[in-house]
Chain A
Amino acid sequence: MRKKVILKLIIGVVVFVASILVVGLASKLKEKDSLERKQQAINLNGLEYLGTSLPEKDEAIIALFHPSCDFCQTDAQLVKEQIEQFENIDLIWVSYDVKDAIVQFSKSYELDNLENVHFAYMDIEVMLERYGNVKFPTFLAYDKNGTLLQKFVGVTKPEVLLSVYDQE
């Protein structure tokens, strides 16, 4: 008799936990899918450019970053060193940090006076809504039609970033 009660209790708990997890999993997957769909096409709304130049090339890479993140600083340094390779691509650095910090970042890595490198501020709410809980840096490489070619999360060397355009 007691065994039956224990058995029922165990089955109940297992089914309960499993159903919570499955429902949670389904909603997370749905959320992930809708975020991915949002990022499929380039969206430059909600950006407040902090320099003088505006993006005008066919292809663009959006770099989501934070001025104080170490890996973002490394990538900025690498991009600066190999800037001539980005000749035909707009590189748009986007952050939700205070505008002064973004401008300071662009100056520190001498990326502020380049025709194809742009820095922009984006409200944190917009970033969360469009890109979700992003890890910095995240690079989104778009082709000339504004379609996402590939997303790179974490520190990414310029040659790796550009390799998606070579395959086209």
Chain B
Amino acid sequence: MIFREIVRLKSNWVKYLLILLFLNLLPLLVIDLFLITEKDLLASYLGKFSEEQAWQILETSKDWKWLSYIFSVLVLTSKVFLVGSILWLATFLSYSKISFSRSCLIGVKSQGIFIFKPYVLLVLILFNSDSKLETINNFTPLSLSSFFKGQTLDGYLTFLFQSLNLFEVTYWILLAYFLSKELKSTFNDGLKIVVSSYIPAFVLWLIAVTFLLVSNS
């Protein structure tokens, strides 16, 4: 049943997803193709490695750059798909029911809030042309990690603090809003479903990634 729903393109969540993927990749492509030059990359590698290694890493990273775009497409698609599944399951188990494609559509629409991030990054790089790579590495807007600037934190703490940001909170609110519209119910009802389904899943995800980071550190 679910699979029939997924492939049913009549519902336009796939169309929205493609637009989202395009809008997400566009600024990243512009940054990689026009703003970050080989000279910038080489300079950053030379800070850490010997000249021969730096050149080697530069060559390898050029060859594998395309993989990072595919990876970001896969991550975004799976996130929308997973959030859609969670919301669908939550509504299925509660008093109301929405179709799988509609719940994925809610996931895609809410995901739109994160689209602003790469564009803000693009603007920041345009204004900070001296330290482009540093700008990219330190780019965690409106997150808890802003309170710890200049401090060296362990990898898992950095991940936790970066994950908790205002974009994420807005995302929760948007999920609740679109869900309430879909259910023709109050915002409060939508929020209840998000708090009891998406947020526990998000916390579980945070714990799992933190566990992996600590294990490998």
Contact = CB atoms under 8 A, between A and B. Distances in A.
B22 interface: no
A25 B50 CA distance: 36
SS class of chain A's interface: helix, strand, loop or mixed? helix
B211 interface: yes
Interface in B94-136: none
B67 interface: no
Interface string B195-207: 0000011011001
A156 B50 CA distance: 9
A28 B48 contact: no
- Chain B residues touching A, majority SS: helix
Q: How large is the interface on A (under 10, 10 to 19, 20 to 34, 35 or more residues)?
A: 20 to 34
Contacts of A162: none
B93 to A, nearest CB: 5
B26 to A, nearest CB: 34
Residue of A10, A17, A21, A24 with highest tally of chain B CB at under 10 A: A21
B151 interface: no
A32 interface: yes
A154 B204 CA distance: 31
Given A3-B93, A157-B48, 19 more contacts: A3-B92, A6-B93, A7-B93, A14-B200, A14-B201, A17-B204, A21-B204, A25-B211, A25-B214, A28-B214, A29-B214, A74-B49, A74-B50, A74-B53, A77-B50, A155-B49, A155-B50, A155-B53, A157-B47
Interface of B: 47-50, 53, 89, 92-93, 200-201, 203-204, 207-208, 210-211, 214-215, 217
Interface of A: 3, 6-7, 10, 14, 17-18, 21-22, 24-25, 28-29, 32, 74, 77-78, 154-157
